[in-house]
Copies of this chain bind each other. A is one copy, B any other.
Amino acid sequence: MRIGELARRAGVSVRSLRYYEEQGLLESERSSSGQRHYPEAAVDRVILLQRLYAGGLSSRTIGEVLPCVDRPSADTSESAFEMMVGERDRLSAHIEDLLRTRDMLDELIATNRRHNATLEPDPAG
């Protein structure tokens, strides 16, 4: 498929796909006229990339981790594996932090609800 279709099916912009390729995260074959062509598997690949980006990994980090995805074998450099574990831990810590922030928001919301309830006793009837 060409880049436009891949973009639609993976839910990203054409610009992003070119950027991923530039970063070495996505391969494409070129037609004689220079247009990019992708196999079906590229859709899942891009979705995977999106998920890693969503996890806060940078292009560089994703690039260093991808070998574990593409060739999960012992010849995969150990550093790639360690980096993946490190990113998992970082992500866990980040999630914990966000949970704390959400708890704080919940408390603020509850406080505000109480104040409003005090002044507007059962406004819905």
Q: Is the CB of B72 within 8 A of A112?
A: yes
| Prevailing SS type, chain A contact patch | helix
CA of A81 to CA of B108 in the docked complex: distance in angstroms? Answer: 9
Q: Which of A9-17, A24-32, A86-94 lines the interface with chain B?
A: A86-94
Closest to A119 in B: B74
B-chain residues with CB within 8 Å of residue A119 when the two chains form the complex = 73-74
Whether A5 is near chain B, meaning CB under 8 Å from some CB there, is: no
Q: Is the CB of A84 within 8 A of B99?
A: no
Q: How many copies does the complex hold?
A: 2
CB distance from A38 to the nearest CB of B (A): 21
B-chain residues with CB within 8 Å of residue A100 when the two chains form the complex = 51
Q: Is the CB of B95 within 8 A of A109?
A: no
10 shortest interchain CB distances as A-B pairs:
A55-B101, A74-B119, A88-B105, A72-B112, A72-B115, A72-B111, A73-B115, A91-B102, A51-B101, A95-B98
